[in-house]
């Protein structure tokens, strides 16, 4: 006699609320974010600090002027912030609030210095920027008092491009090779090389210029030229590229190396076909940072190249001008129009460096989820997954 079991009755599916039935979404407040009362206390503390500083500097003490007001306002703001925080918080809260205020003030000072430098340069040098000849013409036959529609910085731009091109051709393989040696080979000598690279990062530019001047120009008898300037620039770029590439190669997961070695690849093939392609965006960032460091160097080029007022296409044939040298000699000339040309060239140089740094930041950003090749899956109520693009 067989017994049959009846299946349990089906329960009704839970009806999920629709999007229209859900309450409106409000932005979440982050963990540790100040409340409205705390924001009011912070703003009021700094307002009271600057009001107290105004009374002290403008009415009590003979310290008139905006600089004294800003310095005294910052100090008084810190004192008032410490007092108001101590009323409701502990000693840790007071220290945290003071350090946050000091760090924020330092960041504001740096941003103001950068903004004023860029603004002043562009305000002083905007007049030659509106003339197209300023970008492709040279200064051959142009006097210091000629109008701005004559002459330009084309020869300086060409010289900078040639010198940077030679410096990149020298520095890129050396810098990446040094980083590969420090990360992949290791050992005592690698630690010594890393110490030297870190020390060269803070090397003064005038020392690099003197090194190339003594060894190449004085020692080997090679005359000042764009090639010697390229060697000096490469000395400045090498530690930047090697240090940045070292950091990038360290980030590559070790599992990729182990998987390649487990499949039978040699260490050289693992580095060439696995490690370097994985770190390619970071290596590009390292190169751009090195170029941004070398493009604005003046003292090494001044000692090793010299300045020319015409186009020079051969880097080993005599002196070659560049943008930093053009700016240096133009601003020191004492002629108003030539000084304006120098500020115009400085504006172009600032724009080039800004573009390089923005490019480096964009290359250093991680890939977005849209660029990944992995596809997300959508689960149906019947537990079947369907791939969605």
What pLDDT shows up at residue 52?
92
Domains recognised in the chain with CATH numbers? 38-125 (no CATH), 154-366 (1.10.3720.10)
Is the Cβ–Cβ distance between 377 and 385 less than 8 Å? yes
pLDDT > 70: percent of the chain: 85
The whole-number average pLDDT for the span 111-123 is: 91
Please give the Cα distance from 352 to 147 (Å, whole number). 25
What pLDDT shows up at residue 4?
54
Residue 253: exposed, middle, or buried by beta-carbon count in 10 A (0-12, 13-18, 19+)?
Answer: exposed
The whole-number average pLDDT for the span 156-172 is: 91
What pLDDT shows up at residue 141?
82
Q: What angle do CA 195, 229, 114 make, to 5 degrees?
A: 70
What pLDDT shows up at residue 18?
55
Identify the residue with better confidence: 143 or 73. 73
pLDDT digits (tens, 9 = 90+) for 281-319: 888 888 888 888 888 888 888 888 878 888 888 888 888
- Residue 192: is its pLDDT beyond 70? yes
pLDDT > 90: percent of the chain: 19
SS3 12: coil
- Residue whose entry in the numeric block shows the structure tokens 């460091």: 293
- Residue 376: is its pLDDT beyond 50? no
Q: What angle do CA 231, 169, 201 make, to 5 degrees?
A: 55
Please give the Cα distance from 254 to 238 (Å, whole number). 26
User: What Cα–Cα distance (Å) separates residue 210 from each residue in 45, 166, 308?
Assistant: 53, 19, 21
- Residue 171: is its pLDDT beyond 90? yes
Verdict on whether the full-model pTM lies above 0.85: no
């Amino acid at each position: 006699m067989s017994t049959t079991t009846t299946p349990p009755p089906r329960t009704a599916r839970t009806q999920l609320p629709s999007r229209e039935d859900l309450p409106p979404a409000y932005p979440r407040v982050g963990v540790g974010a100040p409340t409205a009362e705390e924001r009011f206390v912070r703003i009021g503390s700094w307002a009271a600090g600057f009001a107290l500083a105004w009374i002290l500097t403008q009415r009590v003490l003979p310290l008139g002027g905006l600089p004294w007001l800003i310095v005294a306002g910052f100090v008084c703001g810190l004192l008032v912030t410490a007092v108001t925080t101590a009323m409701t918080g502990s000693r840790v809260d007071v220290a945290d609030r003071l350090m946050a205020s000091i760090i924020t003030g330092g960041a504001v000072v740096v941003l103001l210095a950068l903004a004023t430098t860029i603004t002043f340069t562009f305000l002083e040098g905007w007049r030659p920027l509106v003339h197209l000849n300023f970008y492709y013409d040279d200064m051959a036959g142009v006097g210091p008092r000629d109008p701005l529609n004559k002459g330009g910085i084309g020869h300086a731009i060409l010289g900078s491009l040639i010198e940077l091109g030679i410096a990149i051709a020298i520095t890129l393989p050396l810098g990446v090779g040094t980083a590969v040696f420090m990360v992949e080979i290791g050992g005592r000598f690698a630690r010594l090389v890393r110490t030297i690279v870190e020390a060269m990062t803070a090397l003064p530019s005038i020392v690099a210029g003197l090194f190339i001047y003594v060894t190449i120009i004085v020692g080997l008898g090679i005359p000042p030229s764009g090639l010697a300037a390229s060697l000096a620039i490469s000395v400045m770029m090498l530690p930047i590229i090697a240090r940045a590439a070292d950091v990038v190669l360290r980030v590559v997961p070790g599992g990729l190396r182990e998987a390649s070695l487990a499949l039978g690849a040699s260490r050289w093939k693992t580095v060439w076909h696995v490690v370097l392609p994985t770190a390619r965006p970071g290596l590009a960032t390292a190169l751009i940072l090195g170029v941004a460091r070398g493009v604005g160097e003046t003292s090494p080029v001044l000692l090793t190249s010299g300045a020319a007022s015409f186009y020079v296409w051969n880097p080993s044939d005599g002196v070659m001008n560049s943008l930093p040298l053009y700016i240096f000699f133009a601003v020191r000339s004492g002629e108003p129009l030539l000084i304006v040309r120098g500020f115009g060239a400085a504006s172009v140089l600032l724009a080039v460096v800004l573009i390089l740094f923005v490019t480096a930041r964009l290359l250093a950003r991680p890939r977005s989820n849209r660029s990944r090749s992995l596809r997300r899956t959508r689960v149906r109520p019947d537990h079947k997954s369907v791939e969605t693009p």
